[in-house]
Amino acid sequence: MAKQIQEILIDDLDGGEANETVSFAIDGSSYEIDLSDLNAKKLRDALTPFVQHARRAGTVSTRRRGRGGSRAMTREKSSEIRQWAKNHGLQVSERGRIASTIVEKYEQAH
């Protein structure tokens, strides 16, 4: 028996169709919000002046941290990275582990 599961993102601001999940952090807390292209652009445009004058504090990593302590990548995050890689012409497997080089490129772009 075959099963197909379709995930539809809903824009958290206006209730319309969302195209992506945007991750951001402020004051030590990380957030994710599902947004349409227009609302994602508005968020990025609003943050741009601050980002341009800020210094990097490191990246939030979804990779495992040594033996024992690990944080598994969520399905949503894996799906987001796979789609981003495909959109940027990178070869990525449909299932299984995503190559660390692709995850790093994704993190650098976001």
Q: 10 Å Cβ neighbour count for 25?
A: 10
**Superfamily of domain covering 7-55:** Lsr2, dimerisation domain (3.30.60.230)
More confident: 93 or 37: 37
Distance CA(68)–CA(36), nearest Å, equals 38
pLDDT value at 2 more than 80: yes
User: Which pTM was predicted?
Assistant: 0.51
Handedness of CA 63, 39, 84, 52 (dihedral sign): negative
pLDDT tens for each residue of 35-76: 999 999 999 999 999 999 998 886 655 444 443 334 557 888
Q: Where are the domains of the chain?
A: 7-55, 72-110
What secondary structure, in 3-state letters, does 30-64 show?
EEEEEECHHHHHHHHHHHHHHHHHCCCCCCCCCCC
More confident: 63 or 82: 82
Q: 10 Å Cβ neighbour count for 106?
A: 20
Q: State what percent of residues in the chain have pLDDT above 70.
A: 85
Distance CA(80)–CA(18), nearest Å, equals 13
Q: Top-level CATH class of 72-110?
A: few secondary structures
Q: Tell me, what's the pLDDT at 74?
A: 82
Q: Which residues contact 102 (CB under 8 A, 6 or more apart)?
A: 81, 85, 90, 92
More confident: 84 or 70: 84
